Every structure is written in structure tokens, then in C-alpha cells.
Homo-oligomer: A and B are copies of this chain.
Amino acid sequence: MSAEQAAAMIQPGWNVGMSGFTGAGYPKAVPRALAAHIEAAHAAGRPFRIGLWTGASTAPELDGALAKVDGIDMRLPYQSDPTVRAQINSGHMQYVDIHLSHVAQFVWFGFLGHLNVAVIEVAGVLPDGRLIPSTSVGNNKTWIEQADYVILEVNHRQSAALEGFHDVYYGAALPPHRKPIPLETADQRIGEPYLRCDPAKVIAVVDTDAPDRNSVFTPPDAQSAAIAQHIIDFLQHEVAQGRLPKSLLPLQSGVGNIANAVLAGLDRGPFAGLTAYTEVLQDGMLDMLRSGTLQSASCTALSLSPDAADYFNAHIDDFRGRILIRPQEISNHPELIRRMGVLAMNAMIEADIYGNVNSTHLMGSAIMNGIGGSGDFARNAYISMFMTPSIAKDGSISCIVPMASHVDHTEHDVQVIVTEQGLADLRGLAPQQRARRIIDTCAHPTYRDALHDYLARARLQANGQHTPHVLTDALSWHERYLRTGTMLP
């Protein structure tokens, strides 16, 4: 049926589980039709908002379109859309920011309420009703199983050759009936290439023909290249010390330009025979698979720029068996990340001198995107690395601060901090030792003295020397930025 007919079945107040993970595999037509439907309802004076659950971030046609018509009451678990962000930060939209590995099980446990309908993009439907997933799996398995109704978008633009790239694990259960997940390597299959779906639940099938709307990556700049080089040097050193195998351990890389630059650096670097166990396969990893630096990659989404997507589709058989796309509760599962000993590399907004990391909030109050899978990987990694340029906004913001204005990853989960200035290896260090190393190695020279001065004053004034702080000054850099537009005095 048409997207409009399908969207018309979605009722005000429903929780809607949509496919989509970092701009890959989201439904292209029903969300926009739903937005039009909501806009018409509002024009007629009828309230119409939904709870919107996804895998992670989607695209303007989904998050943006629904937010613009004021159609989202509650959003989970991760977003990166400017309109959604603005509505969260204006207090108009509720946002529940959840570790990505937790989402599916919380729905199964009954913690997040009832899921009324799933809207899922697929690449195809088999004669027996099984579904060929699209460019992401995300939470689709859970949405399809938990929702009362299922609306399918069959996107004919996605390559039919995607069939076979997915590995959907159907061995999950609820406690106390859970078993070990039998996955030991990134390239191992433990599930099926298809999503199962009860045909009786399917209330609409909509044909679409539209590409994923992923953004182009900026070419690596000098800062990102420097961060990448610090990480490569560190990994080489760890191999030399016997603390890492020559082919390293499975890589995890967050999203964004810095992550992509690090991957480009690794591709030019000295390593071979690598694997990846990650959420999102970006351009950088596709390049590594092309060059052979990367043998195989496990992910939950193929989040490729338009050019990279074209290359992937034109050479899809080169990647067959080397890329596996799994549900996000498997790509991000603590059990598997810890077992495999993943090398976790995630971007951050700021770190404080003790190594507490803020991944989500600007100046303590305003959400940027969300925690995503960074916590799943950081806590369970073999080595947990966080990276950022040392300054932002032309130097008016130091990304190394006295006290993080919000904490997503505590010092217990942060072993390495990297900026273009250098890499601070924090393993086995006590807080004051961490502080000196972070300031000397990672902070921008413009802010280094002020950070040392803060630490010195804290050592004089604090009520304890384990993690000394001056509480009246701890957040003063952020406060000054809000008041004057710069953290500089």
C-alpha cells in the first residue's frame, strides 16, 4: 500500500519502533507520511505525538520530519538530529538516553512500556515471509517480535545482494533462562541471515526506492591525523611490549570524522590481519577491508558515505563473508566485547584532569547526541581509549577541564585519553598521577598552566587529596564560557 495508507494506521500516543542506525536502514517513506498525518491532525486541533524508538540516529526524513511537526513526545535511545536536539534542549521532547546494548533487553523486560507498531526497512521479503534486512539490523529483531503490528518498507534501492550479510541471533532469552552466547570471533556466524516475522502482524508493506542519507566525511585534517598517529604509536608500543598480539585485537571505532581519520591512519599503518567488532562500519573500515588491512568486520550498521556506498554496492561480492551485520544487542554485548578484548576508540566532548569523560552534554545541561554504545565498549574493552581535539571553537573551549560538567564514563572506565597534543596512558595510575599526565600530555598549551594552577590550588584547599577539587572553581570554566563565550580568563 502507499506510505500514506500505512502511516494512517499509526495512532496518537503509540510507541513506534523504527529501524535505522546512524543513518543506515531507516524507513524512508512512512515517517514522512506520518509527519504529514500528524501535521494535519494538529491543524485540526487534534493532539498527535508518538514515542519514537530506533536503533540509534536516523536521518532528516525520519527524526527531522517527525520533530518538525512536533510529533515526538519521547525519544530513545540515541539521536543526532538538529531539530530533535533543539526540542530536547528546549524541554519540549523527553529523551531517554540508554546504553545501546540495554535497549532490546529493557523492552523485553517490560521496562519501557508497550510497543505498538514496528516500522522496518528491509531489502527484500522471501516467499516464506522471512525478511532480508537492510543496511542496519539495530533493534529490528526486537521491534518485530515485541510490536503488536509491523509495517515493512521494502527499499528496492538497497542491493538485493545484501542477502547473506546479516547474522541475526535467535538464541536470546530472558533471565533466568539465558545461555552463553556462542560467539568467539568477529567473523563467526551464530544466527540466521534473515529476520523472522509473523505474517499475521504485518499490516502494511510499502515499496520505496531511496538511498540511505549518510553524510560525506571531511578529509582527515592535521588534528585528526595527529590523534591517529598517537594511537598507532601507542598500539605499536603495546605490541612491542607483548601486551597486544601483532594483529592487535578486534577494533571498535565510534562514529564521526576523527574516528574515520584514525581508521585511515591505521590503514596506512604497520598493522595487518586486523579484525573489527564494532557498531558502525564507516568509510574508514570499508577502505581497510578494501586494502586488506582488515580481514573482517562485525557491525550492526553499514554507515557509508554516498561514494563509499556506491563502491560497496558495485563490489559487494568482495565483502561477502567479511562483513557481518548483527543485532545491536549482539554488536554491543558486554559478554562479547569483554571476551574478544576489543580495542575501543570513542570520541568525547571533554575529559577532566582525572579522566572522567563527558560524551553527551554541552556545558553540563544541553544534550549533544547521546551515549550510544560508548559505555558498552569502554567498560568491557581490553583498552578503552577516548579522543578529542584538545580545544574547540577556535580555542574558546578547552576539552580538558578541571571537572567534567557531566560524566558518562568514570575514571574507572577510561584508560587512555588522546588529543592532537598527545596520548595519556592512564593504566595503573592514581588520580593525581592521572591529572599530571593528562594535563602535560593532552591539554592544549593555551590551557595547560591554568589546569596545573587548578590542580595546585585544589591540592592546597581540598578536603582530601585522592581527587582534589576546589568546589567553587570546579565548574567555573564552563560557567565562564556560558557567560563570556570563552573559557579563557
A residues bordering B, Cβ < 8 Å? 74, 88-91, 94-99, 102, 106, 109-113, 174-176, 178-182, 184-185, 241-243, 245, 249-250, 334-335, 338-341, 356, 361-367, 371, 375, 379-380, 382, 405-413, 415, 427-430, 432-433, 458-459, 462-469, 471-472, 474-476, 478-479, 482
Contacts and interface: CB of A to CB of B under 8 A. Distances in A.
Given A175-B339, A242-B110, A410-B410, A471 B478 contact: yes
A339 B171 CA distance: 12
Interface of A is mostly: loop
Task: Name, among A90, A429, A464, the residue most crowded by chain B CB atoms within 10 Å (CB to CB).
Answer: A464
B363 A406 contact: no
Contact of A90 (B341, B465, B472): B465
A462 B90 CA distance: 10
A341 B467 contact: no
Given A334-B335, A364-B474, A365-B462, 4 more contacts: A102-B412, A111-B428, A334-B379, A364-B462
Task: Name, among A111, A245, A471, A478, the residue most crowded by chain B CB atoms within 10 Å (CB to CB).
Answer: A471
A341 B109 CA distance: 10
Given A178-B340, A339-B178, A472 B464 contact: no
Contact of A340 (B176, B241, B361, B412): B176
A405 B362 CA distance: 18
A370 to B, nearest CB: 10
Nearest to A375: B412
A227 to B, nearest CB: 22
A364 B176 contact: no
A363 B429 contact: no
Contact of A407 (B250, B341, B356): B356
A322 to B, nearest CB: 17
B174 A428 contact: no
A102 B381 CA distance: 10
Nearest to A371: B412
A410 B407 contact: yes
Given A74-B430, A174-B341, A464 B367 contact: yes
How many copies make up the complex? 2
A482 B471 contact: yes
A85 to B, nearest CB: 9
Contact of A474 (B371, B413, B428, B475): B475
Given A365-B458, A469-B364, A430 B109 contact: no
Given A178-B341, A380-B334, A410-B407, A428 B365 contact: no
B482 A341 contact: no
Contacts of A110: 241-243
A468 B91 CA distance: 9
Contacts of A91: 432, 459, 465, 468
Contacts of A335: 180, 334-335, 338-339
A302 to B, nearest CB: 24
A89 B464 contact: yes
B468 A365 contact: yes
A367 to B, nearest CB: 4
Contacts of A180: 180-182, 184, 335, 339
Contacts of A243: 109-111
Nearest to A175: B341
Nearest to A178: B339
A176 B185 contact: yes
Given A249-B176, A427-B112, A478-B471, A88 B465 contact: yes
Contacts of A366: 462-466
